């Protein structure tokens, strides 16, 4: 009985902190959320847009760190508003405090904390990352805030270009762009993807970002699979590495089970995650069919359809689950020539997007031995 | 595509609030968590011990309301500490604010909000429910705080009697008890049940409470099934009804899949939740066995073992899942007398506790027709 | 330790049968899967198309009963093929045996078992329900089998009209239709819905069916929510009641989270399941908004969008989860006239289909009190 | 719309086979269930005790292969009874057929299939693995069957020593043991562990086995985490490798979240699975505490309590989830000496059992830097 009780207690403590004094958030279980590194770079999982009670969010800064650790992230930024602070009657208007409060927890958890602040004019919002002191941006106009950010070599992101409006090349954005004040754009914010804004990533040479903009507590179970994540391909797993990668446009967006990035980066993710377990196969028996086995060592889900294959081979669309393996039925038609063939099957990974309207294409090289048809 | 996107968006919005301006917590899906009413009373699901950033918690007061609605509760109390306020550098020391801030959200969600405050001396903590103004308790000694609470007809709960120590009849508690300053005790706090303190419920005529004492965000999925809940059997579903029921000791504790309360209340919960679908059964065939079907219309899980039954009848222990049905194998031995029998089976509901060391016992009246044994 | 072990054992036994001698399937936990009855009729949950080892399935007949009980069904039919029996080297070609073997288990579980058999010509398959002896259909041509079925007053269903081909008015179907040999059609088979065949339901006055056609074991957790189910609106919960309802076309299809049926039946399902908790509401405060709470006592999920409402009222699309409650944000615009209004909001239930291209529309009558705008 | 439908269809097909002709089980998604190899050996996940319709099971032989692939196994044996064949009226009494039927599916899925048969006398059952032809054992007495098995160099397992009785040194087992007819024992069968029989593993130099003895379909979600698994530490991942390892007693049992095996093997599993992410740590600040991060690359869950540590260090019990990471709070007491210390913490892994009453003990070497206490 005593034994049982202690285990039950332990289990609960593992997921939430119920102690009478518990000023520090202590989620204890982490979902590692593995993603492959790519040649030359570590792949870091980041969320550069979160809020706390210091602007219009609902949680204490340490909570963002605990959630990040639980959810498998490497880095976050707390980007409370400079200027929209509805709690200021109760919570001091000190915008450096979220970073300061969260820092010790981040150090303990091994989470990289990026200083940040959000500025706005109407529905046009921007995140200023790597700023010196977020309090400096209180009272500034939107463009002046961006100019000050540039003077600090901050990284500036146009947030949610389609929030409550259809994305357009708004005058204030045009002005900021002309002054070279913007380096990145949220292609995804929360659950929203902005197809109309997608072409600007290439046209303006902007960096892709994908952030949660979370205000409430972040739920542990997130429908759509994982919380919105900016994948950063960094030389080093630290703030400097993230900064360099952001300016160098080495990022991808991951949300709602879909990934957006460059062809090179997304191909490297596929290659790092998916293996063919049986690339030499034999098609024999009355059905001349077998199971092609694809394993996935990452937390991505890969959905594919077949783009190119020998006509005599049958293979349907499929999906390889996160940390799973998929058995794809492969069979030879009656017209299949007996013998040993080097075959290349081209797949379209339908949830990996490399440009507007274009998905990642990958090749599976196989050796297929077709036996004469049995009766 | 557009269609798909909107649905995905909707799903996410249903569980968390990611909008750029979102000062009010808006969890949209509620788990109704049905429990039966009992004769004469409505059964209300309550958590009378929660914290926010106004003392040492990590969330804004509205979050506690959103969580309560999501989790199927009827009532909560926010009981921030008077005197342990580590955030006071950043958050104003105004202890009436949590109630004030949470009130409009509670009204919208139909959640009953009970004013409360927590006072302490060392490891001895008490919740004062239905107080006029929690700020009045700042700076008072523990006993003076309880005396002031009594003067306001507040309901006083000794919290977590075994927190970081073994429950004992501590002098300060003895003093408070002698002055009739305490009306209830947390038999369960978070995941902790205090067997050493259990006898005091009967000895001191105290009311049972079972609260979360949550500081972090409350997770939507709670290991152990449901968050800790004080069941209140109230004449009316409002603050007055709760107050009357608390003083009248009409409560039960529900945590870790177990329930503690009076025999009368727990029997009524069983009777309101569990039905025998086929109370007239026939045991025929070579095995002379059949399936006795028990349905459960509540969110409780019932675990039972058999205490009394005719010797010739075989029935094993079982459990009826929340909102589920259970098929229990029932069979007649070779010694079973053929014919129609009125049978009463006595079950012990092993997770429903009516006193220290004693579980609820219930009876299943059945009509059993035993057919002559087939060969 | 001993205690813990017994509980663990019990838990496992509750979901699968591991005993050394276990010829009878004994799933013990049932998901009741509540659906509302409709005026004048009980709503029965049925699957009229399943297979066993007696044709090309992979399970013993008792397994189909255990799965049906576990999954909350009221009735099933085992419809092994007459003529496609690839296991006949090992399993006797006795088509009456599945019903015979499954009957005692069905009686114990309270599952209604409908005799059935599947006949075919190429890709055209039909289920003959309520036949006397499935062995009689061995060796008959497709049309002769249907003629014999009619002579027995069997109910004949055209199965999966789009299986491996696009649904067309195939000559053999035309012939059968002209001879009045067909009474129903599978609008859904497994995960396949056949939009091209949908109009025939109205044109030919056919009964809608929705069946699993399961060959493998039926998994307990079914993506899409529930296994395919034919809802039957029956006068009595027995085989005769099902037969009468099938011939009278009182059915609906439920699969992949969507429902297809007549407007009358689907409206009755909504009305039986969904309640507005707070139909008199007040819009006050600076936002003049509140939460409209919809509760759902059924296992259906309801997705809606708003079709008609006063212009000054804002209400977005939403979904009410199975056995859940939904909190829909409702707010008044600046143009809203202060005062008390009787308002009718018209919703389209987008996953409830009453005809090709037409979804169920329902009305929410509300009393809305709009307070003067606060500042 | 069309797009959405195809995805939905694909999802369902991925988990069950609903096609009209589907004689081969085709579960398509595999849970890889990673476990570490140990020095010199591959770790194979096996279930050597399953049944089909050819004795008293409920599924076709191919189903056992599909389940094994889905569940992450490497090898199974189908061990239908020779002599208890209640389906023989309908299913041919040909005991070689399960292996024959399952073989092509096993080859496609990469599952190693071990020939086997179960023989019995009353409640005493034994599995004979690697037999030539299971039909040979029909009609033999229990001991004669074991003698014939030995003549074939089969591997003989005493099954479920405590099934429906308390394990004892039964005369027939004593006789078989004296004749050296038994090489292994099921320490776990299904959900049952047999503490009374555990000492015989060491005393008789038997091999540990842990099998499901599944008769019904194996559910995809198994309470207790994973289905019962015999871990085999094999030189080669094939039948010969398994045979050699079984005779050499290189196995472990894994069921109900617990593991039983030799100290050497279990230590190797821990070492292959668990890493300390931050083995050099600093205890500073007012609490002088930090988070020790343990990562687990395996599907095991590890529960530990602390056995030995410096007195001035506080570390509580914890658990590292499958494929997860755990953050254990580590803190220095006021008595902690400032400075850099090489510390070794000894943990007891409470769910890894190396002998009756003895659990695995492991060491965590840490470098701990204690900073002077802050005020």
Residue B347 · residue B316 · CB < 8 Å: no
Q: pTM for the complete prediction?
A: 0.92
CB A83 within 8 A of CB A120: yes
Architecture of the domain defined by B274-370: Sandwich (2.60)
Write out pLDDT tens, residues B163-185: 999 999 999 999 999 999 999 99
A-B contacts at Cβ under 8 angstroms: 171
Per-residue pLDDT tens over the stretch A157-194: 999 999 999 999 999 999 999 999 999 999 999 999 99
Token pair, residue A279, equals: 């690339």
pLDDT higher than threshold 70 for residue B13: no
D58 closest CB neighbour out of C63, C192, C193: C63
Nearest by CB to C110, from B293, B317, B326: name it: B293
* Cα-to-chain-centroid distance, residue B51: 18
Nearest CA in chain A to D317: A10
Residues C293, B30: C-beta atoms closer than 8 Å: yes
- Chosen for mutation from A9, A12, A229 (greatest number of chain B CBs closer than 10 Å) is A12
How far is Cα B75 from Cα B230, in angstroms, rounded to an integer? 10
Fold: same for D31-261 and D273-370: no
Q: Would you call A138 helix, strand, or coil by DSSP? A: coil
Closest Cα in chain C, distance from residue B325 (Å)? 5
Give the homologous superfamily in CATH for domain C25-261. Answer: Metal-dependent hydrolases (3.20.20.140)
Residues D205-238, buried b or exposed e (16+ Cβ, 10 A)? ebbbbbbbbbbbbbbbebebebbbbbbbbbeebe
Cβ neighbours for A358, distance < 8 A, ≥ 6 positions apart: none
CATH architecture of D31-261: Alpha-Beta Barrel (3.20)
Q: Across the interface, which of D26, D89, D192 has its CB nearest the CB of C9?
A: D192
In this structure, are residues C361 and C348 in contact, taking their beta carbons and an 8 Å threshold? Answer: yes
Indicate whether B24 pLDDT > 70: no
Average pLDDT of chain D to the nearest whole number: 91
Collect all residues of chain A within an 8 Å Cβ-Cβ radius of residue B83.
Answer: none
Check D9 against C216: CB less than 8 A apart: no
pLDDT at position B220, please? 87
Min Cα distance C178 → chain A (Å) is 38
A30-261 topology per CATH: TIM Barrel (3.20.20)
Give the start-end residues of each E strand in B204-320: 207-211, 229-234, 251-255, 258-260, 274-276, 280-283, 289-296, 302-308, 313-315, 318-320
Residue-by-residue pLDDT tens, chain A, 375 positions = 233 333 332 222 223 333 334 333 345 899 999 999 999 999 999 999 999 999 999 999 999 999 999 999 999 999 999 999 999 999 999 999 999 999 999 999 999 999 999 999 999 999 999 999 999 999 999 999 999 999 999 999 999 999 999 999 999 999 999 999 999 999 999 999 999 999 999 999 999 999 999 999 999 888 778 999 999 999 999 999 999 999 999 999 999 999 999 999 999 999 999 999 999 999 987 788 899 999 999 999 999 999 999 999 999 999 999 999 999 999 999 899 999 999 999 999 999 999 999 999 999 999 999 988 765
- A66 contacts on B by Cβ (under 8 Å): 216
DSSP lists the bridge partners of residue B196 as none
The Cα of A235 is separated from the nearest Cα of chain C by a number of Å equal to: 40
CA angle, residues C161, C164, C170, in degrees to nearest 5: 45
C313, C306 Cβ separation under 8 angstroms: no
Pairwise CA distance, residues B324 & C225, whole Å: 16
Give yes or no for a contact between C59 and C213, defined as CB atoms under 8 angstroms apart. Answer: no
- ipTM, 2 dp: 0.90
Q: Let me know if D84 is exposed, middle or buried by CB neighbors in 10 A (0-12, 13-18, 19+).
A: middle
Contacts of C10 in chain B (CB under 8 A): 303, 317-319
Beta strands in C228-375 (DSSP E): 229-234, 251-255, 258-260, 274-276, 280-283, 289-296, 302-308, 313-315, 318-320, 325-332, 339-355, 358-370
- Greater pLDDT, D324 or A20: D324
Contact B46, B58 (CB under 8 A): no
C238 has a pLDDT exceeding 90: yes
What sections of chain A are H helices per DSSP? 2-15, 61-70, 97-109, 142-151, 171-178, 198-203, 239-247, 263-273
C272-370 belongs to CATH 3.30.1490.270: no
Question: Would you say residue B11 has pLDDT above 50?
Answer: no
Query: Which of D7 and A361 is assigned the larger pLDDT?
Result: A361
Q: What is the pLDDT of residue B375?
A: 53
Instruction: Indicate the domain borders of chain B.
Output: 23-261, 274-370
Nearest alpha-carbon partner for A35 in A24, A23, A47, A43: A43
Tokens 């429902």, residue? Answer: C259
Instruction: Determine the topology of domain D273-370 in CATH.
Output: Immunoglobulin-like (2.60.40)
Q: Mean of the pLDDT values across residues B240-268?
A: 98
Residue of chain D nearest A281, judged by CA positions = D108
Q: What is residue C22's predicted lDDT score, i.e. its pLDDT?
A: 36
Q: Is the pLDDT of residue C8 over 90?
A: no
Contact C145, C179 (CB under 8 A): no
- Alpha-carbon torsion C34, C37, C38, C41, what sign? positive
Predicted local distance difference test score (pLDDT) of residue A52: 98
Q: Report the DSSP beta bridge partners of residue B64.
A: none
Give me the mean pLDDT over the B235-245 stretch: 98
Give me the mean pLDDT over the B133-143 stretch: 97
Mean pLDDT across the stretch C181-192?
97
Q: What is the pLDDT of residue C375?
A: 53
Give CA angle at C366 (C364, C372), nearest 5°.
Answer: 140
Contact A18, B191 (CB under 8 A): yes
**Residue B91 tokens, joined:** 């958050």
Given this model, what pLDDT does residue D286 score? 76
pLDDT at residue A372 in the model: 85
Tokens of C244: 């009468």
Structure-block tokens of residue A93: 């208007």
Pair A292, A316: CB distance under 8 Å: no
Residue D185 scores a pLDDT above 60: yes
Of chain C, the end-to-end C-alpha distance in Å amounts to: 64
Residues in a beta bridge with A290: A330
pLDDT at C225: 81
**C-beta atoms of A324 and D29 within 8 A:** yes
Q: Is residue A319 within 8 Å of A301, Cβ to Cβ?
A: yes
List, for residues D149-173, the tens digit of each pLDDT value: 999 999 999 999 999 999 999 999 9
Q: Name which of D313, D314, D258, D322 is nearest D294 in CA terms.
A: D322
Interface residues of C toward B, Cβ cutoff 8 Å, are: 6-7, 10-11, 14, 26-32, 69, 104, 108-110, 277-278, 285, 290-291, 293, 295, 303, 317-319, 321, 323-329
> For chain A, what's the residue count?
375
Burial degree of D195 (CB within 10 A; 0-12, 13-18, 19+): middle
Mean pLDDT of chain C: 91
Using alpha carbons, select from A144, A141, A186, A184 the residue that is nearest to residue A162.
A186
Q: What's the CATH architecture for B23-261? A: Alpha-Beta Barrel (3.20)
pLDDT tens per residue, range C336-371: 999 999 999 999 999 999 999 999 999 999 999 998
Touching A: which chains, 3+ CB pairs < 8 A?
B, C, D
Neighbours of B234 (CB within 10 A): 27
Average the pLDDT over D270-279 and give the result: 96
Start-to-end CA distance of chain A, whole Å, equals 64
**Considering only CA atoms, which of A186, A313, A329, A339 is closest in space to residue A260?**
A186
pLDDT at B134 > cutoff 70: yes
């Amino acid at each position: 009985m005593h034994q049982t009780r202690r285990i039950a207690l332990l289990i609960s403590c593992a997921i939430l902190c119920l102690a009478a004094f518990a000023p520090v958030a202590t989620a204890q279980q982490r979902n590692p959320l593995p993603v492959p590194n790519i040649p030359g770079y570590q792949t870091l999982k980041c969320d550069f847009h979160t809020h706390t009670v210091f602007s219009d969010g609902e949680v204490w800064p340490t909570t963002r760190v605990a959630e990040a650790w639980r959810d498998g992230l490497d880095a976050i930024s707390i980007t409370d508003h400079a200027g929209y602070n509805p709690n200021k009657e109760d919570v001091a208007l000190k915008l450096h405090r979220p970073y300061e409060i969260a820092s010790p927890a981040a150090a303990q958890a091994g989470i990289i904390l990026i200083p940040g602040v959000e500025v706005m004019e109407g529905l046009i919002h921007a995140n200023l990352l790597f700023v010196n002191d977020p309090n400096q941006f209180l009272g500034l106009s939107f463009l002046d805030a961006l100019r000050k950010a540039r003077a600090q070599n901050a990284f500036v992101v146009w947030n949610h270009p389609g929030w409550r409006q259809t994305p357009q090349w708004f005058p204030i954005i045009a002005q900021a762009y002309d002054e070279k004040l913007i380096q990145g754009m949220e292609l995804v914010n929360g659950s929203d993807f902005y197809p109309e804004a997608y072409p600007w990533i290439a046209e303006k040479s902007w960096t892709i970002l994908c952030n949660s903009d979370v205000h409430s507590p972040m739920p542990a179970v997130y429908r759509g699979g994982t919380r919105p994540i900016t994948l950063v391909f960094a030389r080093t797993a630290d703030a400097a590495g993230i900064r360099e990668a952001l300016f160098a446009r080495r990022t991808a967006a991951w949300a709602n089970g879909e990934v957006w990035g460059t062809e090179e980066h997304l191909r490297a993710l596929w290659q790092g995650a998916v293996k063919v377990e049986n690339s030499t196969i034999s098609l024999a028996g009355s059905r001349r069919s077998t199971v092609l086995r694809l394993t996935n060592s990452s937390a991505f889900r890969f959905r594919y359809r077949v783009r190119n294959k020998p006509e005599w081979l049958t293979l349907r669309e499929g999906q390889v689950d996160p940390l799973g393996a998929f058995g794809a039925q492969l069979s030879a038609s009656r017209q299949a020539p007996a013998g040993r063939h080097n075959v290349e099957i081209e797949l379209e990974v339908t949830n990996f997007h490399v440009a507007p309207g274009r998905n990642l294409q990958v090749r599976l090289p196989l050796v297929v031995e077709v036996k004469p048809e049995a009766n």
